Amino acid sequence: MSKVTLAKALNAGLRKAMDNDPKVLVMGEDVGKLGGVFRITDGLQKDFGEDRVIDSPLAESGIIGTAVGLAMRGYRPVCEIQFDGFVYPAYDQIVSQVAKLHFRTHGKVKMPMVIRIPYGGGIGAVEHHSESPEAQFAHTPGLKVVTCSNPVDGYFMIQQAIASDDPVIFLEPKRQYHADKAELDESATPLPLHASRVAKAGSEVTLIGYGPTVKTCLQAAEAAAGEGRSVEVIDLRTLSPLDLGPTFDSVRRTGRAVVVHEAHTNLGMGAEISARITEQCFYSLEAPVLRVGGFDTPYPPARIEEEYLPDLDRVLDAVDRSLAF
């Protein structure tokens, strides 16, 4: 066992998947020699060759569109989109082709494709490098959308996504890439890909986060504990399909729920989760489901991104408001 960062865990997971199945390909901009701008594919081209780790021309629609053809020929492409804000040139191929081919052909064409997207803010970047587009993909039938919050999940989830016969949008919280190390036991039995989990048990309020906000939620829970408040934290892990069983169980006990994400609040994942909690836990609720998210503005310049992003204080503020209801 060793301690690894999320970046290293993803790299190890990709390597394992490529070792296990010669049909797995990695493709994207700068993924080869450079190992990707975040080094997630570091060393893979050296070990698996240029045919399996493909530096693509700089055209996102081209990356995803050719991956469709490769999948039709029996390959399992893992595409890297360099940054969240650059997925839009590929949006048409993703929503109109990748997502629909299985449906259109009644399953005769499968799309075992993974689209990896480093997402989220907090790294002091320029425009288009800090966005959270998850709802746009979760809203699209035919896609599956998952996001890891820690190295252990990163290692297992990337392999599970690659093994899936459905197209998976794999969102990686880029702020966490090199942040925290965790013990990785490669022989452990992972949770299923499309399962959420209780990241911390508590009894008075349920905090629901995913990807980069899980850490914020855990910090909030710790701070709240210091004030004698018991907060439960759910790490959603899967955004499409949603796995809200653990969330419902939790809210039925706590009666209070706060959803936390970096994406714009309006029509974000929080809206859907809130609606479902209301449908399923109506008689248990002591307060309306609250949302803490990015504001409904474009992602701001880096010098004020900490104000824009849901941080510890804004989460705690929402916890207080929920408890005060």
Contact residues for other proteins (CB under 8 A)? 25, 51, 56-57, 59, 61-62, 64-75, 89, 92-93, 96-97, 101-110, 112, 141-142, 144, 164-166, 194, 241-243
The nearer residue to other proteins, 51 or 227, going by C-beta atoms, is 51
In whole angstroms, what is the distance from residue 211 CA to residue 175 CA?
A: 10
> What is the closest distance, in whole angstroms, from the C-beta atom of residue 196 to other proteins in the complex?
12
CB 280 to other proteins: min, Å: 12
In a 10 Å sphere around its CB, with 0-12 CB exposed, 13-18 middle and 19+ buried, how is residue 275 labelled? exposed
Report DSSP letters for 53-80, one per residue: EEEPPS-HHHHHHHHHHHHHTT-EEEEE
| Residue among 190 and 241 whose Cβ is closer to other proteins | 241
Question: Which of 102, 129, 178, 194 is flagged as catalytic?
Answer: 129
Tokens of residue 121, six digits = 């803010």
Give me the count of residues in the chain.
325
Rounded CA-CA distance 264/160 in Å is: 28
Please say which residue, 84 or 243, places its beta carbon nearer to other proteins: 243
- Give the amino acid at 29: E
Q: What are phi and psi of 231, to 5 degrees?
A: -115, 130
Q: How far is the CB of 141 from other proteins (least distance, A)?
A: 5
Under 8 Å between Cβ of 70 and 24: no
- Quick check: is 178 catalytic? no
Is 158 strand, coil or helix?
Answer: helix
CB of 113 to other proteins, least distance (A): 10
Of the pair 25, 234, the CB lying nearest other proteins is at: 25
Which CB sits closer to other proteins, 194 or 256?
Answer: 194
A 10 A CB-CB count for 14 gives 28
Query: To the nearest 5 percent, what fractions of the chain are helix, strand and coil?
Result: 40, 20, 40
Shortest distance in whole angstroms from residue 306 CB to other proteins: 35
Q: Sort residue 63 into left (φ over 0), alpha (ψ -120 to 50) or beta.
A: alpha
**Active site (catalytic) residues:** 129
